[in-house]
């Protein structure tokens, strides 16, 4: 290489070497980047997966209760719910552990919205709450609740410290409802499908 002004070759002595001050700044900047990444960026990435898993879980629960509300009769909805492997479907999301699930029918009086009746099995709805009964007209909703724990992407194991989302999963209570669609009566038995 030649110097453009003098035309003489540049020796190794002429090159500018990094000063000691510049190398110290580089190592301090590296340590600051490491702290920023480990204390802020990684925990944010770790916790950002929780809303995604929660959204997927709510979508599955909402879809399932809507399918059950379209059953012909209430006993068919309860049987279909018990026979299906609903909790395994939720577990397939990954990091979503369903602890308990419950299906019930809620009948609410339209005249007096403060009055409602909850049944957990078919045939348990009293005659007053059936279509055409004393409490009627009523709004019938199928209710599905799921108690679950959602894990972050990475769980830190620190003995004696219990911080939801960092050292253990976050507990959630999912609750979805859908209107019961078949309010008709069985022509052969005379029972309402909502109570059969």
Q: Does residue 137 register a pLDDT over 80?
A: yes
| Local confidence band at 4 (pLDDT 50, 70, 90 cut-offs) | low
Assess contact for 122 and 78: CB atoms under 8 A: yes
Average pLDDT, the chain: 82
The stretches of the chain forming alpha helices (DSSP H) are: 20-36, 42-69, 74-83, 86-91
Q: Does residue 159 register a pLDDT over 70?
A: yes
**Six-digit token string for 194:** 């909502």
| Local confidence band at 50 (pLDDT 50, 70, 90 cut-offs) | confident
Assess contact for 131 and 194: CB atoms under 8 A: yes
| Local confidence band at 8 (pLDDT 50, 70, 90 cut-offs) | low
- SS3 call for 80: helix
Task: Give the bridge partners for 38, in sequence order.
Answer: none
DSSP state of 37: I
Residue bearing the bigger pLDDT, 166 or 74: 74
Q: Does residue 11 register a pLDDT over 70?
A: no
Rounded average pLDDT over 142-146: 93
Chain-centroid distance of CA 30 in Å reads 37
Residue bearing the bigger pLDDT, 90 or 79: 79
Q: Does residue 16 register a pLDDT over 80?
A: no
**Residues 36-45: pLDDT tens digits?**
887 788 778 8
Q: Does residue 22 register a pLDDT over 60?
A: no
Rounded average pLDDT over 120-135: 85
Instruction: Give domain limits for the chain.
Output: 51-179
**Residues 104-117: pLDDT tens digits?**
999 998 888 888 88
Q: Does residue 23 register a pLDDT over 70?
A: no
Rounded average pLDDT over 155-161: 79
Q: Supply the pLDDT for residue 19.
A: 54
Q: How many residues are listed for the chain in this entry?
A: 196
Rounded average pLDDT over 6-22: 54
Q: Supply the pLDDT for residue 68.
A: 92
Give this prediction's pTM: 0.74
CB proximity list for 194: less than 8 A, separation 6 or greater: 73, 74, 105, 125, 130, 131, 140, 180, 182, 183
Q: Supply the pLDDT for residue 15.
A: 55
């Amino acid at each position: 290489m030649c110097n453009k002004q003098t035309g003489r070759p540049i020796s190794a002595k002429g090159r500018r070497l990094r000063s000691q001050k510049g190398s110290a700044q580089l190592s301090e900047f590296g340590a600051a980047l490491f702290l920023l990444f480990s204390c802020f960026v990684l925990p944010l990435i770790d916790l950002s997966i929780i809303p995604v898993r929660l959204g997927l879980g709510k979508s599955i629960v909402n879809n399932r209760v809507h399918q059950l509300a379209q059953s012909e009769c209430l006993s068919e909805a309860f049987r279909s719910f018990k026979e299906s492997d609903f909790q395994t479907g939720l577990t397939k999301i990954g990091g979503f552990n369903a602890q308990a699930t419950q299906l019930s029918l809620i009948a609410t009086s339209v005249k007096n919205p403060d009055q409602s009746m909850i049944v957990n099995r078919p045939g348990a709805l009293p005659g007053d709450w059936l279509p055409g009964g004393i409490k009627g007209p009523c709004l019938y909703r199928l209710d599905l609740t799921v108690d679950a724990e959602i894990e972050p992407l990475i769980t830190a194991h620190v003995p004696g410290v219990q911080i939801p989302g960092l050292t253990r999963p976050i507990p959630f209570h999912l609750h979805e409802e859908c209107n019961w669609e078949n309010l008709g009566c069985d022509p052969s038995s005379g029972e309402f499908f909502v109570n059969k």
